[in-house]
């Protein structure tokens, strides 16, 4: 928690939320700008945990515990909701826009806020929602009033309730990992998107805060990567942004900068990297431009690899890279490396192998993402832990130094993780037990879990 950080109304940013939010004075890199606590928040519920789904497999039958109101919920919903909760859950099951348990509970909590203070939802009711699904929101709202009139406070129209349902199905509802649920945020949701953002969002509990990841000039629009599109090729980013109706005029989307996520081996110089810029493929080192035939050849390889690449070891991935025209920094190889990392962690691969993978991932990220990013922080942290396990304490110290510097830029120097990395880089653990203690873990419990 960043208790000293200003809330939006006191922050050094423009206050007219009908326009893009801009800095009202120069902001330094690593400066926390403002924080916001969720208006309401709720967990995803049992159906999310026990849905019987396994990755991309078909759902299987599973016993799902009936949804309940926990202690926090009971304090933030009306007595009518408590009394009619089971019936309300059944009603919501029949409406896709109320299918998620966290959305239902957040709706009930918003209704309770209005019941206690009729002005509490005034700003929320002015925010834009997805008009294409307005009829579904209204159908769910009118049915809710018809079947459960006691939970709708006097003064709220069906259109108002429909609007709230629309907000909960829109960008205003953010996932909150620590509570395994979601929360409603106004100001964070109104930040402009950029694939090359100047700010980063950090979440702890039901609180989010905004940090400048580079110097920001007065009157500059504050931007975040709303859709989390890092390491995605240009066309994929454009398609995703268009689908979500998110505008972006960053230098990547405007083709001022090349598409770094599509990287190819230069065929004219030893270590050059070729990237596309519009329809021109040119080398970053020797500046040679590829012919239409060369472009067609690499695009054919891209298509083939997207469909066929499936690696289960670093050696297999390296073999694919060696036989390909695609550079190791290409997004196809990066995401294959990311998948391989998950496999290695799950199957308890040797730490030496994991360290190689973390280094490779970081090399890709540092080349392709020209700004501080949480992914870099996490991977430097994981690399440091792995290096401690194999006895490379100097390497671990260096990794913690990188993690600390990036965490300060992404989340501020007073963030709990930044403070942790500062301690770890100054007093780097020399063995696994010291490391577990530094992270606040129970050494005996971890060893018992690791026992065969």
| Identical fold, 8-38+188-230 and 262-447 | no
From the centroid of its chain, how far is CA 200? 10
Q: Which of 333, 38, 375 is nearest to 225 (CA)?
A: 375
The per-residue pLDDT for 322 is 96
Alpha carbons 411 and 344: distance in angstroms, whole number: 29
Residue 168 reports pLDDT greater than 90:
yes
Tokens of 179: 């509570």
Residue 294 reports pLDDT greater than 60:
yes
Count of other CB atoms within 10 angstroms of residue 7: 12
| CB of 412 closer than 8 Å to CB of 32 | yes
DSSP state of 31: -
Alpha carbons 5 and 202: distance in angstroms, whole number: 13
Q: Which of 29, 31, 35 is nearest to 2 (CA)?
A: 35
Alpha carbons 409 and 32: distance in angstroms, whole number: 9
The per-residue pLDDT for 227 is 87
Q: Which residues pair with 234 in a beta bridge?
A: none
Q: Which residues touch 367 (CB under 8 Å, ≥6 apart)?
A: 260, 329
| CB of 78 closer than 8 Å to CB of 112 | yes
Q: What is the pLDDT of residues 8-37, one digit of tens each?
A: 999 999 999 999 999 999 999 999 999 999
Where do the domains of the chain lie?
8-38+188-230, 40-48+60-184, 262-447
Tokens of 379: 């991977």
Alpha carbons 285 and 346: distance in angstroms, whole number: 39
CATH for 262-447, among 1.25.40.10, 1.10.10.10, 1.10.3210.10, 3.40.190.10? Answer: 1.25.40.10
Q: What is the mean pLDDT of residues 121-129?
A: 95
Q: Which band of pLDDT confidence, cut at 50, 70 and 90, is reported for residue 53?
A: very low
Q: Which band of pLDDT confidence, cut at 50, 70 and 90, is reported for residue 66?
A: confident
Q: What is the mean pLDDT of residues 203-230?
A: 96
Specify burial of residue 63 (Cβ count, 10 A radius: 0-12, 13-18, 19+). exposed
What is the edge-to-edge ordering of all strands in the sheet holding 264-265? 264-265, 273-277, 280-283
Q: Which of 305, 392, 378, 388 is nearest to 342 (CA)?
A: 378
For 157, 279, 325, 334, 376, the CA distances from 367, given in Å and listed in that order, are: 53, 22, 18, 11, 11
Q: Which residues touch 395 (CB under 8 Å, ≥6 apart)?
A: 383, 384, 387
| CB of 387 closer than 8 Å to CB of 355 | yes
| CB of 373 closer than 8 Å to CB of 230 | yes
The per-residue pLDDT for 381 is 98
What is the edge-to-edge ordering of all strands in the sheet holding 32-37? 32-37, 207-212, 199-204
Residue 180 reports pLDDT greater than 70:
yes
Q: Which band of pLDDT confidence, cut at 50, 70 and 90, is reported for residue 130?
A: confident
Q: Tokens 């939010």 — which residue?
A: 21
Q: What is the pLDDT of residues 315-337, one digit of tens each?
A: 999 999 999 999 999 999 999 99
Higher pLDDT, 338 or 2: 338
Alpha carbons 256 and 253: distance in angstroms, whole number: 8
Residues recorded for the chain: 452
* Strand positions, DSSP E, 233-366: 264-265, 273-277, 280-283
Q: Which band of pLDDT confidence, cut at 50, 70 and 90, is reported for residue 98?
A: very high
Angle at 183 between CA 175 and CA 104, to 5 degrees: 100
For the entire predicted model, the pTM comes to 0.91
Residue 60 reports pLDDT greater than 50:
no
DSSP state of 312: S
Q: Which band of pLDDT confidence, cut at 50, 70 and 90, is reported for residue 50?
A: very low
Tokens of 381: 């942290």
Tokens of 142: 């009118």
Count of other CB atoms within 10 angstroms of residue 279: 8
Count of other CB atoms within 10 angstroms of residue 112: 21
Alpha carbons 123 and 108: distance in angstroms, whole number: 18
Higher pLDDT, 63 or 375: 375
Instruction: Tell me which CATH homologous superfamily contains domain 8-38+188-230.
Output: SET domain (2.170.270.10)
Q: Which residues pair with 297 in a beta bridge?
A: none
Residue 52 reports pLDDT greater than 90:
no
Alpha carbons 136 and 144: distance in angstroms, whole number: 12
The per-residue pLDDT for 447 is 65
Specify burial of residue 295 (Cβ count, 10 A radius: 0-12, 13-18, 19+). middle
Residue 452 reports pLDDT greater than 90:
no
Residue 152 reports pLDDT greater than 90:
yes
Q: Which band of pLDDT confidence, cut at 50, 70 and 90, is reported for residue 450?
A: low
Residue 451 reports pLDDT greater than 60:
no
Residue 392 reports pLDDT greater than 70:
yes
Q: What is the mean pLDDT of residues 97-122?
A: 96
């Amino acid at each position: 928690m960043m208790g000293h950080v200003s809330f939006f109304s006191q922050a050094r940013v423009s206050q007219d939320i009908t326009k893009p939010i801009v800095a009202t004075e120069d902001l330094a890199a690593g400066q926390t700008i403002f924080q916001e606590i969720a208006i309401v928040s709720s967990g995803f519920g049992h159906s999310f945990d026990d849905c019987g789904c396994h990755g991309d497999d078909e759902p299987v039958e599973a016993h799902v515990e009936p949804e309940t109101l926990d202690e926090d919920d009971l304090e933030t919903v009306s007595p009518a909701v408590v009394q009619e909760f089971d019936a309300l859950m059944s009603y919501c099951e029949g409406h896709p826009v109320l299918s998620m348990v966290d959305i239902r509970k957040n709706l009930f909590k918003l209704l309770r806020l209005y019941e206690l203070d009729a002005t509490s939802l005034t700003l929320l009711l002015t925010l834009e929602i997805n008009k294409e699904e307005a009829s579904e929101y209204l159908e769910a709202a009118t049915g809710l009033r018809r079947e459960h009139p006691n939970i709708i406070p006097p003064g709220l129209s069906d259109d108002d309730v429909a609007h709230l349902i629309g907000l909960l199905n829109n960008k205003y509802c953010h996932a909150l990992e620590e509570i395994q649920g979601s929360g409603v945020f106004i100001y964070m949701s109104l930040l402009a998107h950029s694939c090359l953002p100047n700010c980063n969002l950090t979440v702890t509990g039901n609180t989010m805060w905004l940090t400048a990841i580079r110097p920001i000039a007065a009157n500059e629009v504050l931007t975040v990567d709303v859709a989390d599109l890092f390491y995605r090729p240009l066309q994929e980013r454009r398609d995703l942004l268009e689908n979500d109706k998110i505008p972006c005029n960053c230098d990547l989307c405007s083709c001022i900068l090349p598409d770094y996520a599509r990287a190819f081996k230069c065929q004219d110089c030893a270590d050059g990297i070729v990237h596309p810029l519009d329809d021109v493929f040119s080398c970053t080192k020797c500046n040679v431009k590829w012919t239409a035939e060369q472009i067609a050849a690499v695009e054919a390889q891209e298509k083939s690899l997207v469909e066929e690449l499936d690696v289960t070891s670093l050696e297999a991935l390296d073999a694919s890279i060696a036989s390909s025209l695609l550079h190791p920094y290409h997004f196809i190889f990066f995401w294959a490396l990311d998948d391989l990392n998950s496999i290695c962690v799950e199957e308890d691969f040797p730490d030496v192998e994991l360290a190689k993978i973390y280094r490779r991932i970081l090399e890709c990220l540092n080349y392709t993402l020209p700004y501080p990013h949480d992914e870099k922080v996490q991977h430097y942290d994981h690399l440091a832990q792995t290096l401690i396990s194999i006895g490379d304490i100097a390497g671990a110290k260096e990794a913690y130094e990188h993690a600390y510097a990036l965490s300060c830029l992404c989340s501020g120097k007073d963030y709990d993780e930044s403070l942790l990395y500062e301690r770890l880089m100054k007093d780097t653990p020399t063995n696994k037990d010291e490391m577990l203690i530094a992270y606040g873990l129970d050494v005996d419990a971890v060893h018992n879990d690791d026992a065969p």
